[in-house]
Amino acid sequence: MKKLISALAFLALAACAKPSAPNTQPSGDASRAVVQEVYAGFEAGDMDKVTGVMAADIVWNEAEGNPYADNNPYVGPEAVLTGLFARLGGEWDGFAAIPSEFVAEDDRVIVFGRYSGTYKATGKSMDAPFVHSWTVTDGKISAFQQYTDTAEHAAVMSD
């Protein structure tokens, strides 16, 4: 009988306990969908679509050693657009970042892919691998980190 009372008391306490906070982490699928919007925007040449999924205070970092890392970190969509994307668009013919694999968990999305394009000043073409690390917060991209073959970028961009 004592065991039955103890069990009932435990159940009563458990029923009165404050419920645990809901999981507020985004699902990997939701984060992946936000990041996929960026690549869809790149492919369509729709920079409004690309910057539209960026948080107002996004922190964007190009890989160390990348010629475009000179302004790291780019903070805010306008800085990314004018400080990086405008330069890429003006200096390259057919510059593309083509994703091949997305790995997502909670708010982090890692993308594997390849860059391609021809640097206008040298006429040299590039085909280099990349890994992009994205952080999604409240449905917006809050951080970006690029990893790539910076020696390949520099070689294509120099005479």
Residue-wise pLDDT for 101-115, tens only, equals 999 999 999 999 999
Q: Count of domains in the chain?
A: 1
For 31-70, the pLDDT digits (tens) are: 999 999 999 999 999 999 999 999 999 999 999 999 999 9
pLDDT surpassing 70 at residue 23: no
Tell me, yes or no, whether 128 lies in a domain: yes
3-state SS class at 114: strand
In which domain, by residue range, is 88 found? Answer: 25-157
Residue with tokens 């920079």: 47
Residues 6+ apart with CB under 8 A from 95: 88, 89, 115, 116, 117
* pLDDT at residue 158 in the model: 95
43: domain CATH number is 3.10.450.50
